[in-house]
Amino acid sequence: MFTFLIIGLEILALAGGQILWKKGIDQSGGILKDGESIWISLFHLFTNYTFLVGCIFYGISMLVWFYLLSRFDLSYIYPFISLTYVVTLLGAKFILREDVTFQQGLAVGFICLGVALMGSR
């Protein structure tokens, strides 16, 4: 059970980082907008609280991933990371208010089926 909690933490941290990065990039107006230099774009990003929290989530994800790699076969744990697609899609719909198509939902369903098959060994 502890293993699945740690894998769940990895998935949530990874998806959370992506969602927060997207929100932070949108809040700062995007990258290289209106001829803006890369340095100004990066300054806007790295002074955006939401983007920085996304970086923290990614840091947590990296540390958790290192822990998982030290305890399990890569061939066992890596398929679980595909569940990040599920969480990210839900976050895109409900947090970022993006349109999610039926095909995207169906594809995520197949991902879940594949992970269930892999995890039942």
Q: What is the pLDDT of residues 53-111, one digit of tens each?
A: 999 999 999 999 999 999 999 988 998 898 999 999 999 999 999 999 999 999 999 98
Residue 73 DSSP class? -
**Quick one: CA dihedral 62, 63, 67, 68, positive or negative?**
negative
Please state, in angstroms and rounded to a whole number, the distance separating the CA atoms of residues 91 and 61.
Answer: 17
| Domain residue limits, the chain | 2-119
Residues 6+ apart with CB under 8 A from 41: 28, 30, 31, 32, 33
Which value, to the nearest 10 degrees, does the dihedral of the CA atoms of residues 90, 20, 58, 100 take? Answer: 20
Q: Tell if the pTM clears 0.85, that is, is over it.
A: yes
Secondary structure of residue 31 in the 3-state scheme: coil
